[in-house]
Amino acid sequence: MQHELRIVRIFDSIGEWSGKVVAPLIAIITVVLIFEMVMRYAFNAPTFWVHETTQYLFATYAFIAGAYTFRVGLHVNMDIFYRKFPVRTKAAVDLFTSLVALAYIISLLWWGGMDAFESIKVQEVSTTVWAPPIYPFRAMIPIGAFLLLLQWLAKFIRDLTTFVTKGVNK
């Protein structure tokens, strides 16, 4: 859309940026897992920290990259009928279903934010032998939800504009 609002472009840029920032985590996770396999099978010296490290890194990746995934349209869609709809009908369906997504995002922000706040407040650590701090990773939930909210707003504005303008032009 040529005449998109500046705020939509800003939110889209943030969504793009969030995916690109965390993309290298996949390579890091891969290297860490290969290190574990070499230590375990070549030297018979398994690590006690790799499993937990890769879990936290992947959770960070998943939460922060969620906005990017939404931006580029990679979330799951049930499009058996949807793909045959006219553009304006698709926009109307997207506007309606976006309310469910908004409820989910708000709950992630609220409950994830409360959980992260408590975790940071007590400087929470894992209950494993290694006991790394986990509060930075818990903070990824509301941060990721906030990024997702921005991308949701961009899509909502785009869908609303499409719904209104396609209806006027016909």
Q: For residue 1, tell me if it sits in a domain.
A: no
pLDDT band at 167 (very low <50, low <70, confident <90, very high): low
Long-range contacts of 30-37 (CB under 8 A, 24+ apart): 32/57
Tell me what the mean pLDDT of segment 69-84 comes to: 85
What is the DSSP-derived secondary structure letter of residue 2?
Answer: T
pLDDT band at 141 (very low <50, low <70, confident <90, very high): very high
Question: What distance in Å separates the CA atoms of residue 24 and residue 107, rounded to the nearest whole number?
Answer: 28
Rounded percentage of the chain residues whose pLDDT exceeds 90: 86
Q: For residue 163, tell me if it sits in a domain.
A: yes
Predicted confidence (pLDDT) at residue 2 exceeds the cutoff of 70? no
51: nearest Cα among 169, 116, 130:
130
Question: What distance in Å separates the CA atoms of residue 23 and residue 55, rounded to the nearest whole number?
Answer: 15
What is the DSSP-derived secondary structure letter of residue 41?
Answer: I
Average pLDDT, the chain: 93
What is the number of domains present in the chain? Answer: 1
Q: For residue 85, tell me if it sits in a domain.
A: yes
Tell me what the mean pLDDT of segment 107-115 comes to: 97
Backbone angles phi, psi at 125, to 5 degrees: -125, 160
Tell me what the mean pLDDT of segment 25-44 comes to: 97
Q: For residue 30, tell me if it sits in a domain.
A: yes
Predicted confidence (pLDDT) at residue 168 exceeds the cutoff of 70? no
Full domain range(s) for residue 159: 6-168
